[in-house]
Structure 1
Amino acid sequence: MNILFASSEIFPYAKSGGLADVAQSLPEELRKIAQVYTMMPLYQTVDRQNYNIVFSDFSFDIWLHGIRHQIDLYKNANNPYELFLYNPILCDREGLYHDNYGDFGDNHLRFAIFSYGVIETMLKLQLKINTIHINDWQTALIALLAKTKYHLSQKIVFTIHNIAYQGIFHKSVMNELELNWQECFKSDRFEYFDQVNFLKAGIFYSDVITTVSPTYANEIQTPYFGHTLDNMLITNNYKLTGIINGISYDVFNPSTDEYIYKNYDKQTYELKSQNKVKLCKELNLAEPHRPLFVFIGRFTNQKGVDLIVQSLHLLKDFEINVAILGSGEKYYNGVFSKLVDKYHNITIKIGYDEALARKFYASADFLLMPSVFEPCGLNQMIMMRYGGLPIVARTGGLRDSVVDFTDLHHHNKHQGIGVTFDEHSMFWYMHAITKAISLYANQKKYIKFAKHNMSVDNSWKTSAKEYLKVYK
């Protein structure tokens, strides 16, 4: 089987969120059993020299609304199946989707160029592709183009990683992108409240829709989680399935991770504590014998950051340490910056730091994930891999991957053990934290659960098998 996997970001070349990790790990696993090409934009931020990305001596033009857009094809010299498309409008920006002031204003054109480019590259290189796998709104137009302009026979699999981001633009882009009004601008297809919606087009024109956990597949068919597309998904639910993401066990491996202070595995679990001692020293946190709670991620409402902020003035009086690492919306960055060094047992680092994040995972006893919604979540899986317990809101992939330590009769071998809460409120969030502290006091029980989490298989192996079923 030959698969073409198109994504707007792929780790390590470009990353703004979990999509990049999925777009790296899933194709890597699939390559063990299939031939997989990946395509992404060659943004100016990509380190071409470091990753050995070279020009393939192949270019072609795409004409849209009388304007010529040249696309240059690059490839990874070490892996010819990793392809990159360069076009100045698409790639020559400081960020992937927006700058510090908001949307670039022409993202519809940028990712239309990429979508046309993916299909044209496949055709011009005569790649023998069985399935085209597209991801989120940035590549959703490929499904529309494949069915309406190119009449391709390849199966189109469309994965929704986060339905909150849909790619909504003024209807005038129909002309700019040379799309057929009569065929495409319909309420069950591309039209969206007299605008156009890229993600909606992906839902209609794809052959299979996947999303990143079974629970999220159900949630997005409800008004609360569906972001106005719930009825669209109910209509198309015959082709919708939830496949929970995995993580790379090569990248996230405490026994080989070069970022952490001391390597360890399930058999040498006692060495994990050395990481906590050294991290606490680095962060100026006293009494490293205390339980360490960490948050790693984006500062957005979705991630439950409001609960985290509101709880700090309470947690300052608890006999615990708290470490926060992340960045995000300007408002939350500002809120957290005012709290840096305010409390003796709480440290806050604003910014993205992969090395420090790994140290957090290797040192933490508990990971805080009070998400308002979470399509899948990867952090809880990484925390399990590093022998800690996640504290999660029971939503989306968090519900599928974590069971509360007091509710093990509902447990299955694919789930980790942690602390969960249902109602998204300060009372139940703090209740979960106090439960965690109580569990930690029983070290024998805590270590048993932590070692169990290290044994749970959250690798891409199982997920890849599920994807192969929908590809066929």
Structure 2
Amino acid sequence: MHVLMVAAENDALPGAKVGGVADVVRDAPKALAEQGITVDVVIPDYGIHDLNRTHIGDVTVAFNAHPHVLTLFKVEQSQSNVTQIVISHPLFSNSGSVYCNDAPGRPFATDATKFALFNAAVCEALLQGVLKRPTALHLHDWHSACVAVLLKFEPRYQTLSNLNIAYTVHNIALQGIRPFKYDDSSLEAWFPSLSYDGQQLCDPRYPHCFNPMRSAINLANKVHLVSPTYSQEVLKPSNYEHGFFGGEGLEQDLKNAADKGKLVGILNGCEYPNSTDKKVSMDDLYSQAQDTLFNWMAKTPQLESGYYIAHQRLQQFMASPVKGPLVTSVGRLTEQKVLLLCQSIESSLVIDEVCKIVDEFNGRIIILGSGDEALEEAFTKAMARNANLLFLKGYGQGVGDLMYQLGDLFLMPSSFEPCGISQMLAMRAGQPCLVHSVGGLKDTVKHNDNGFSFNAGTLSKQADSLLKCLDETLTLHKEQPKQWQKIKANAKGARFSWTQVATDYISYLYQ
């Protein structure tokens, strides 16, 4: 069996990772290869120059009513049965990053055009034989959805129209919606001669708009959600007032897919390298955090207040040993991840109440992450108000790894979580997690067994439930050390293996 994966991200290559999808596209092919499957992975090259690559072919595609020449390269690497391929074009390298931020009035405009051209090149490369025809074509998120659209509706690719397509939804909140026409970033601007069925491709909320994710859901042979629980949650409409995030407008299409037997929930995996058991200390974490802070500070001539406060707080932490539990959190600062922590409660925010509870146990909180500017500001102000909170605005692999190893409790109160990787990394290091029992968090963290979880019907009740659970958890940590050690051991012993994921891919997505 031969599989071709098409994605926007791939952490097997430098500079091509933003989120968790990059980890999946890095790890899943290796696990498939171990079961005898040959896998090709293709992404745009984003102008990454430090790749040892070999030219494998050029393709010319008609795009925006002009011919465009794109170049395909095989990236040299040692992995057997997995071939890493990048496609090069000035449009992919102009931004210098994987994704671009467009003005609020034109969401996804730059990226949608970029990925539409990339998808067209994939289709043409398959037709020309530059890419080997696969047994199964595995598309990831909205960025690769136009491959399914072109194979279905472009007569030029009729010989490829019977390819078995598996489509993975990693984050249904991002759908890549653009107009059908009257915009230079629209389906008809990209492919002016395409005859398509608008009923299958339109957005259910904005019928004049093209929805790539909905298109792929409707056109694929199999639709994959990245955890069993999330695959059920998306069949229901979202209800923001009650703090429930479901199908985000695509629930009916997903329900139709489920009724046809083509919807599959398979939990993502985690790698479990052989442990070196190298002893690390809080001094190591503080030193790494300080070095990382200095690197962030040096990027701009003016010192940001958030970095200044963080450095002062770090000095305070270094001057006095932590007496109670260390609560950690690592992840992108988005509403998905921290909406609950930013809810108002009396005259403060939930994050302030979290700090108070942790302080009652003489504990500290370290949060590592960046993202939405308003949320970054909210956490910077919370750090200024709470002497036991250190907020590190950014991401540093070394700091994150040490936080997983040294933390006593990992906090992950996501409002929705398709799968989640942070909780798996914390558990792998033996750090129990306190999570909102949704999506992949519900599938990985079992309350009072290998971690702790909460849930409730509205945002305010979810906030109350989070605080109650935190207080009970830290009480258990303090008063029942044997029980805590058992939960800690269960967290460390939990396994979400890529071997099982690969087996399920072969059985449920590719056959």
For 1:160, which of 155, 169, 172 is the aligned residue? 169
Paired residue secondary structure (1:298): coil
How far apart, CA to CA, are the structure 2 residues paired with 1:243 and 1:419?
A: 22
Partner of 1:464 in structure 2? 502
How far residue 114 of structure 1 moved from its aligned partner, in angstroms, is: 0.9
> Which residue of the other structure, out of 278, 281, 289, is the alignment partner of 1:275?
281
- Cα offset, 1:328, TM superposition: 0.5
Which of 314, 331, 337 is 2:374 aligned to?
331
Distance 2:254 2:399 in 1: 39
> Is 1:287 aligned with 2:321?
yes
Residue 146 in structure 1 maps to residue 151 in structure 2: yes
For the 8 Å contact 2:177–2:203, the answer to whether it is kept is: no
Name the CA shift for 1:65/1:322 in 2 (closer, same or farther; >3 Å).
Answer: closer
Instruction: Verify the 8 A CA contact 2:102 2:109 in the aligned structure 1.
Output: no
Q: CA deviation at 1:69?
A: 1.6
Higher strand share: 1
Task: Tell me which residue corresponds to 2:365.
Answer: 322
Shift of 1:375: 0.6
**For the residues of structure 2 that align with 1:91 and 1:203, how far apart are their CA atoms?**
29
Moved more, 112-121 or 319-328: 112-121
Q: Secondary structure at the match of 1:73?
A: strand
**Distance of 2:203 and 2:469 partners within structure 1:** 43
1:345 corresponds to which residue?
Answer: 388
1:122 alignment counterpart: 126
- Report the number of matched residues: 440
Kindly indicate whether the alpha-carbon contact (under 8 Å) linking 2:56 and 2:74 is maintained by their aligned counterparts in 1: no
Query: Is 2:201–2:212's contact at 8 Å kept on the other side of the alignment?
Result: no
- Between the aligned partners of 2:322 and 2:216, the Cα distance in structure 1 is 50
- Do structure 1's residue 189 and structure 2's residue 201 form an aligned pair? yes
**SS of alignment partner, residue 398 of structure 2:** helix
Q: Residues 175-203 of structure 1, C-alpha deviation per residue, up to 9 Å, x if partnerless?
A: 223266653212x3345421110001101
Greater shift, 287-296 or 309-318, is seen at 309-318
Return the offset for 1:288. 2.7
CA, structure 1 residues 426+61, in 2 after alignment: closer, same or farther (shift >3 Å)? same
CA contact (8 A) 1:115 1:139 kept: yes
- Inter-CA distance 160–42: structure 2 relative to 1 (3 Å threshold): same
Listed one character per residue, the Cα deviations across residues 299-327 of structure 1 (whole Å, up to 9, x for unaligned) are: 11111344168234332432211000000
Where does residue 241 of structure 2 map in the other structure?
none
For structure 2, list consecutive stretches of 5 or more residues without a partner in the other structure: 239-245, 290-313, 344-348
Q: Who is 1:301 aligned against?
A: 335
Alignment of 1:61-210 (within 5 A): 61-79=60-78, 81-99=83-101, 103=107, 105-124=109-128, 125=130, 127-149=132-154, 150-151=157-158, 152=160, 153-172=162-181, 173-178=186-191, 183-186=196-199, 188-190=200-202, 192=204, 193-210=207-224
TM-score normalised according to structure 2 size? 0.81
Deviation sequence 1:202-254 (CA, Å, 0-9, x none): 0111000001001111111101111111111111212101000011223xx6x
380-389 vs 123-132, greater mean Cα deviation: 123-132
1:275 CA displacement: 3.0
TM-score (norm 1): 0.88
Among 232, 241, 251, the residue aligned to 2:264? 241
Q: Deviation at 1:57?
A: 5.5
Q: How big is the shift at 1:280?
A: 5.5
Write the distance in 2 (CA, Å) between the matches of 1:308 and 1:324. 14
Native 8 Å contact 2:231 2:265 kept in 1: yes
Q: Percent identity?
A: 28
Q: Is the 8 A contact 2:2 2:136 kept in 1?
A: yes
Unaligned runs of 5+ in 1: 257-262, 265-270, 409-416
Q: Distance in 1 between matches of 2:171 and 2:196?
A: 27
**RMSD of the alignment, in Å?**
2.2
Give secondary structure in 1 for the equivalent of 2:473.
Answer: helix
**TM-fit CA distance, 1:29:** 1.1
Residue 267 of structure 1 is matched in structure 2 by none
Structure 2 contact 340–414 (Cα < 8 Å) conserved? no
What secondary structure does 2:420 align onto? coil
Question: For residues 167 and 353 of structure 1, what CA distance do their matches in structure 2 show?
Answer: 28
Does the aligned pair in 1 maintain the 2:285–2:399 contact within 8 Å?
A: no
Give the 3-state SS of the residue equivalent to 2:392 in structure 1. Answer: strand
User: 1-side partners of 2:378 and 2:96: how far apart?
Assistant: 25
What is the Cα deviation at residue 431 of structure 1?
0.9
1:57 and 1:155 mapped to 2: Cα distance?
24
Shift in alpha-carbon separation, 1:57–1:144, aligned structure 2, 3 A: closer
- CA 1:222–1:179 in structure 2 vs 1: closer, same or farther (change >3 Å)? farther
Query: Helix, strand or coil: the match of 1:176?
Result: helix
Within 1, Cα distance between the matches of 2:485 and 2:390? 25
| Structure 2 equivalent of residue 59 of structure 1 | 58
Instruction: Note closer, same or farther for the CA distance 1:100–1:139 as it changes in structure 2 (3 Å cut).
Output: closer
